[in-house]
Structure 1
Amino acid sequence: MSGLLNVSSNPHIRSHDTTSRIMLLVVLALLPASVFGVYHFGINALVTILVSVTSCVLTEYVYEKLMHRNITVGDFSAAVTGLLLALNLPATVPWWIPVIGGVFAILVVKQLFGGIGQNFMNPALGARCFLLISFAGRMTDFTYDGISGATPLTALKMGEPVNLMDMFLGNKTGSIGEVSVLAVLIGAVILLLAGVIDLRIPGTYLLSFLFFILVFGGHGADPEYLLGQLFGGGLMLGAFFMATDYVTTPITKHGQLVYGCILGILTGIFRVYGNSAAGVSYAIIFGNLLVPLIEKMTLPRAFGKGGKKA
Structure 2
Amino acid sequence: MALPRITSPHAKGSNRTQRVMLLVAAACAPGALALTWLFGIGTLVNLVWASVVALAVEAAILAARQRPIAFFLKDGSALVTAVLLALALPPYAPWWLTLVAVGFAIVFGKQLYGGLGQNPFNPAMIGYVVVLISFPIEMTSWPKPHTMGAWDGIQQIFGLAALPDGWSQATALDSLKINKSLTMDELWAQNPAFGEFGGKAVEWVNLAFLLGGLFLIYKKVISWHAPLGMLGALFVISLLCWNGSGSDSNGSPLFHLLTGATMLGAFFIVTDPVSGATSNLGRILFGAGVGVLVYIIRTWGGYPDGVAFAVLLMNLCAPTIDYYTRPRTYGHRKPGRGFKLGE
TM-score category of the 2 structures, normalised to the smaller one: 0.7 to 0.9
Q: 1:69 to 1:179 in 2, by over 3 A?
A: farther
**Structure 1 residue 164: deviation in Å?**
4.1
Q: CA contact under 8 A between 1:200 and 1:257: conserved in structure 2?
A: yes
Distance between the aligned counterparts of 1:243 and 1:291, measured in 2?
Answer: 11
Q: 1:46 aligns with which of 44, 47, 54?
A: 44
**Structure 1 residue 198: deviation in Å?**
2.1
Deviations 1:141-175 (A, max 9, x none): 1222253211112233325226443748x625xxx
What aligned pairs does 1:210-221 form with structure 2 within 5 A after superposition? 210-219=235-244
Q: Give secondary structure in 2 for the equivalent of 1:198.
A: coil
**Structure 1 residue 134: deviation in Å?**
1.1
Deviations 1:181-213 (A, max 9, x none): 221122112111111112211111111111111
Q: Give secondary structure in 1 for the equivalent of 2:234.
A: helix
What aligned pairs does 1:108-123 form with structure 2 within 5 A after superposition? 108-123=108-123
1:67 aligns with 2:65: yes
Q: Give secondary structure in 1 for the equivalent of 2:108.
A: helix
1:266 aligns with 2:293: yes
Q: CA contact under 8 A between 1:209 and 1:264: conserved in structure 2?
A: yes
Q: 1:90 to 1:77 in 2, by over 3 A?
A: same
Aligned residue in 2 for 1:234? 261
Deviations 1:73-118 (A, max 9, x none): 1111100000000111012211011111111101111001010001
Q: Which TM-score applies when normalising by structure 1?
A: 0.88
Q: Give secondary structure in 2 for the equivalent of 1:69.
A: coil
Q: Which TM-score applies when normalising by structure 2?
A: 0.80
Q: CA contact under 8 A between 2:142 and 2:168: conserved in structure 1?
A: yes
Distance between the aligned counterparts of 1:293 and 1:224, measured in 2?
Answer: 32
Q: 1:223 to 1:139 in 2, by over 3 A?
A: closer
Distance between the aligned counterparts of 1:53 and 1:188, measured in 2?
Answer: 21
**Structure 1 residue 12: deviation in Å?**
4.5
Between Structure 1 and Structure 2, the one with more helix by share is 1
Q: CA contact under 8 A between 2:198 and 2:256: conserved in structure 1?
A: no
Distance between the aligned counterparts of 2:221 and 2:65, measured in 1?
Answer: 31
Q: 1:223 to 1:193 in 2, by over 3 A?
A: farther
Q: CA contact under 8 A between 2:119 and 2:275: conserved in structure 1?
A: yes
Q: CA contact under 8 A between 1:156 and 1:225: conserved in structure 2?
A: no
Count residues with an aligned counterpart: 295
Deviations 1:37-85 (A, max 9, x none): 2232223222222111111111111111222112211111100000000
Q: Give secondary structure in 2 for the equivalent of 1:239.
A: helix
Deviations 1:230-270 (A, max 9, x none): 10111111001111011111111111121121111111111
Aligned residue in 2 for 1:245? 272
Distance between the aligned counterparts of 1:231 and 1:143, measured in 2?
Answer: 18
What aligned pairs does 1:92-111 form with structure 2 within 5 A after superposition? 92-111=92-111
Distance between the aligned counterparts of 2:242 and 2:108, measured in 1?
Answer: 36
AA aligned opposite 2:230: Y
Aligned residue in 2 for 1:204? 229
Deviations 1:119-153 (A, max 9, x none): 11111111000111111111111222253211112
Deviates more, 1:93-102 or 1:143-152: 143-152
Distance between the aligned counterparts of 1:164 and 1:38, measured in 2?
Answer: 18
Aligned residue in 1 for 2:320? 293
